[in-house]
Structure 1
Amino acid sequence: MMDPIFVIAATCLVGISVVAFALLRAWQGWLEFKREELERPSRSHGTIDTSEIEGGAGVGAARIEMADLKERIKKLEAIASGVEL
């Protein structure tokens, strides 16, 4: 007969494989959802309205503007804490 420890180990391995596969599929679905969300911005989901940014600039310009604002915030926080950049 089979050793009980071998059966338990095989069962655990199968279980971990099933969970890993399910998590991978969920991750891929979430990434696809985010890609679609970035391709079609809308007001209802809190995404950026491109008509209000830089006179109707595209999403790429909005990302650049957001990155610039984040950089400015980091600099101001560094100044406030007394750290020189």
Structure 2
Amino acid sequence: MFEPTLIIAAAGLTGLVIVAAAMLRGWQGWLELKRSELEGHHGPRAEEGSSMGAARIELADLKERIKKLEAIASGVDL
């Protein structure tokens, strides 16, 4: 009734469709993740830890950079 090559071709085509659908779904998920990042929604990781502590560390880092730039501007070697 059905030849083996026809069955193999149909199975291969079905597998290819399944893989393509899975990859398309993954791609759409990745695009949605990037959209939410651009909109400023960082997801559950943004809720972890203290944002105040991170802000203090960043502020200290900026102050240190300013001191270094001021030293460079005045000609002092650090």
Taking structure 1 as the reference length, what is the TM-score of the superposition?
A: 0.47
Tell me how far apart the structure 2 counterparts of residues 17 and 30 of structure 1 sit (CA, whole Å).
20
Deviations 1:30-76 (A, max 9, x none): 0000000111166x78xxxxxxxxxxxxxxxxxxxxxxxxxxxxxxx
Question: What corresponds to 1:66 in structure 2?
Answer: none
Instruction: Give the fraction of aligned pairs with identical amino acids, expressed as a percent.
Output: 52
Question: What corresponds to 2:29 in structure 1?
Answer: 29
- Any residues of structure 2 matched to 1:66-81 within 5 Å, and which? none
Q: Tell me if 1:5 matches 2:9.
A: no
Which is helix-richer, 1 or 2? 2
Based on CA coordinates, which of the two structures has the bigger radius of gyration?
Answer: 2
- Gaps (5+ residues) in structure 2? 47-78
- Any residues of structure 2 matched to 1:48-67 within 5 Å, and which? none
Taking structure 2 as the reference length, what is the TM-score of the superposition?
A: 0.51
Question: What corresponds to 1:20 in structure 2?
Answer: 20
CA-based RMSD of the aligned residues comes to 1.6
Aligned residues: 44
Runs of 4+ in 1 over 2 A off after TM superposition: none
- Gaps (5+ residues) in structure 1? 46-85
